[in-house]
Amino acid sequence: MSKAELLFQQASVLAAAGDISEAGLLILKGLDCERRAHAQGPQVLGLIRRRA
């Protein structure tokens, strides 16, 4: 199970318990994990800095 999936499950439990703000934070952390997982390969800023 990925870290993002784990965070989404924890958020679901917290939301069901009524802790909406903490659930929202976990959802945002999960989305960040997904975004980072999809952003593999050379980064543009890394390439620019190496040349300078």
Distance between CA 30 and CA 36 in Å, rounded? 10
Residues whose CB is less than 8 angstroms from the CB of residue 29 and which lie 6 or more positions away in sequence, other chains included: 7
What percent of the chain has a predicted confidence (pLDDT) above 90?
54
Distance between CA 18 and CA 28 in Å, rounded? 17
The answer to whether 8 and 30 have CB atoms below 8 angstroms apart is yes
Greater model confidence, 31 or 43: 31
Q: Quote the number of domains for the chain.
A: 1
- pTM of the predicted model, to two decimals? 0.70
Give the per-residue pLDDT at 52. 47
The whole domain housing 8 covers 3-51
pLDDT, one tens digit per residue, over 2-27 is 899 999 999 999 999 999 999 999 99
